[in-house]
A and B are shown apart, each in its own frame.
Chain A
Amino acid sequence: MAVTPAAKLDAQKLRADFAVFDDLVNGKPVAYLDSASSTQKPRHVLDAMREFYEHSYANVHRGVYTLAENATAGFEGAREKVRAYVNAPSSREVIFTRSATEALNLVAYAWGLDNLGPGDVVVITELEHHANFVPWQFIAKKTGAEFAHIPIDDLGELQLDALDEIASRGNVKVVANNLVSNTLGTINPVERLAAWAHEQGAIMVVDAAQAAPHKKIDVQALGCDFLAFSSHKLCGPSGVGALWGRRELLESMQPFNFGGEMIRSVSLERTSWNELPYKFEAGTPAIAEAYGFGVALDYVSEVGLDAIEAHEHELVVQTMDALAEIDGIRMFGPPADRRTGIVSFELENVHPHDVAQILNWENVAVRAGHHCTQPLMTRLGVAATTRASFYLYSIPEDVDRLVAGLHKVKETFGV
């Protein structure tokens, strides 16, 4: 990874934007190592949302009064920011959803139900988050399609040599994969999978929830057909996410939710759908949250995705080097240069929940559990892992405190 001085970020300086780091326990702020789950929010986003709620708030797309025009402009402005963030050709192809999860469900239902059947194959991977796994498992079962997975090797990387065998099972119609594994941080070869999917006549659905906050996303370069991500993992509010989809696919699909906003006209005999993207946005959306999502995208972009990626890489290297020195620690996933800011590990003979509990005594916040990736846990042969994950406000001292905390765990358990 090329780390240029210009791409450097100053995490200490950025921390001043996050009020949570002003809260001290025993003189120290939280060592927040759970950003892969959700990130903290900078004042920019919170202030902008408050300002929006106080001075520009009304329902969108309906009222003709100034407040409604302003609210609509703020909401639609955020849509344009999402479009630019993923380099989508048109903001008509950007649909606001409740979350990345809802975006993936939208594709599975609205595309899957009408396009899958017996003889078809739905392909996911062994390291999918449940959000891009279970919807496809359900729709495959419902339509009679086969549900196949791409296995991973011991480093948590996709075994693409399994693709030929998968293709021999039937008509591959959809390939669903996360760009970055939320559990291992693995950066997956989505471009190659998308090319393979298209060779098979399949669509490529990308879960970018864990990728979008940490590296540049370009849907045109990836060559995918759908891409989902959420606001709350990149400094924005929870309750809003986005789906990008190719226009011709979105146009050919039936709506996912029905109600207000998504219609053009309704009668007792016949109802017609609104234009894109509104066809897929039934009901009052999370208006201020979408606005805040846009502000968060500005914030993250201003810090710089190259700088964020480089910063996290340094922290991952520091963590992996330090954990390698601790007896009884087993780390999962690929080498540092093939992952984003995530380190998953287990400590021999201590359950991850106990590890996390004792780390909390030191005000070190990590995630312990299956990370919504139970098939991956099965493959790794563990029930759960402890996961430390970083973002633009993470600092080397957080890692030092994690390491010190792990020694405390070992001391407590006598391992």
Chain B
Amino acid sequence: MSDLDQQMYREVILDHYKNPRGHGPLEPHDAHAEGQNPLCGDEVTIFVRFGDDGDTIDDISFEGRGCAISQAATSMLTEMVKGRKASEVAVLPRDELLEEIGIPLTPIRLKCALLGLGVLKVALHRSKGTPLPEEWRGMDDDLRLD
């Protein structure tokens, strides 16, 4: 194991994984979405409540299960965006989150790290009509058997 490898599970990641911030359902909420990462089978559901101005993210929580990277990244994301404007978060550059996470990620693990951000943007899209990230486009054309 190299030093680089060890950094992937640096303390802050494991801390967020074991003690996720903003974890659990948020009732009532104004926006929510769920998403999956087919790589690890990670699942994340995000709930958002807006402030009186209808734009500020007053409260945010998530539920989910999956790898440490996906869950810790989503946990860190909830801390990052709380108190910020929905319109701003909807176009939050992924690098801003990746910097916060601050660990080396291979292309495959990037998908884990960015799952929560994608799901949050889907929630904002559904609630506020903000743009969808490109990897989530076309998601409504799925197969429903009910």
Residues on A close to B: CB < 8 A? 61-64, 68-69, 72-73, 76, 92, 247, 250-252, 254, 261, 263-265, 268-276, 279
**Contact (A265, B38) CB under 8 Å given A251-B137, A271-B142, A275-B135:** yes
Q: Of B19-27, B76-84, B103-111, which binds chain A?
A: B103-111
Q: Which of A63, A68, A252 meets B141, CB within 8 Å?
A: A252
Q: Is the CB of B38 within 8 A of A64?
A: no
Chain A contact surface mostly: mixed
Question: How many A-B residue contacts, CB cutoff 8 Å?
Answer: 66
Residues on B close to A: CB < 8 A? 35-36, 38-39, 43, 106-109, 134-139, 141-146
Q: Is the CB of A92 within 8 A of B146?
A: no
Q: Is the CB of B107 within 8 A of A254?
A: no
Q: Is the CB of B106 within 8 A of A64?
A: yes
Which residues of A have CB within 8 Å of B109? 64
Which residues of B have CB within 8 Å of A64? 39, 106, 108-109
Q: List 12 A-B contacts (CB under 8 A).
A: A62-B108, A69-B106, A69-B108, A72-B108, A73-B107, A252-B141, A261-B38, A270-B144, A273-B138, A273-B143, A276-B135, A276-B137
Which residues of A have CB within 8 Å of B143? 270-273
Q: Which 10 A-B pairs have the closest CB atoms?
A: A251-B138, A272-B142, A265-B36, A275-B135, A271-B143, A69-B106, A270-B144, A269-B146, A269-B145, A264-B36
Please measure, in the bound complex, the distance between the C-alpha atom of A76 and the C-alpha atom of B110, giving whole angstroms. Answer: 15
Distance in Å: Cβ of B133 to nearest Cβ of chain A: 9
Which residues of B have CB within 8 Å of A273? 138-139, 141-143
Q: Is the CB of A72 within 8 A of B107?
A: yes
Q: Is the CB of A92 within 8 A of B134?
A: yes
Which residues of B have CB within 8 Å of A72? 107-108
Distance in Å: Cβ of A291 to nearest Cβ of chain B: 16
Which residues of B have CB within 8 Å of A279? 138
Q: Is the CB of B134 within 8 A of A272?
A: no
Residue of B nearest to A92 (CB): B134
**Contact (A269, B144) CB under 8 Å given A72-B108, A76-B107, A264-B36:** yes
Residue of A nearest to B145 (CB): A269
Please measure, in the bound complex, the distance between the C-alpha atom of A272 and the C-alpha atom of B144, giving whole angstroms. Answer: 8
**Contact (A272, B108) CB under 8 Å given A62-B39, A92-B134, A264-B36:** no
Please measure, in the bound complex, the distance between the C-alpha atom of A374 and the C-alpha atom of B47, giving whole angstroms. Answer: 60
Residue of B nearest to A68 (CB): B108
Which residues of B have CB within 8 Å of A261? 38
Which residues of A have CB within 8 Å of B139? 264, 272-273
Q: Is the CB of B141 within 8 A of A254?
A: yes
Q: Is the CB of B142 within 8 A of A270?
A: yes
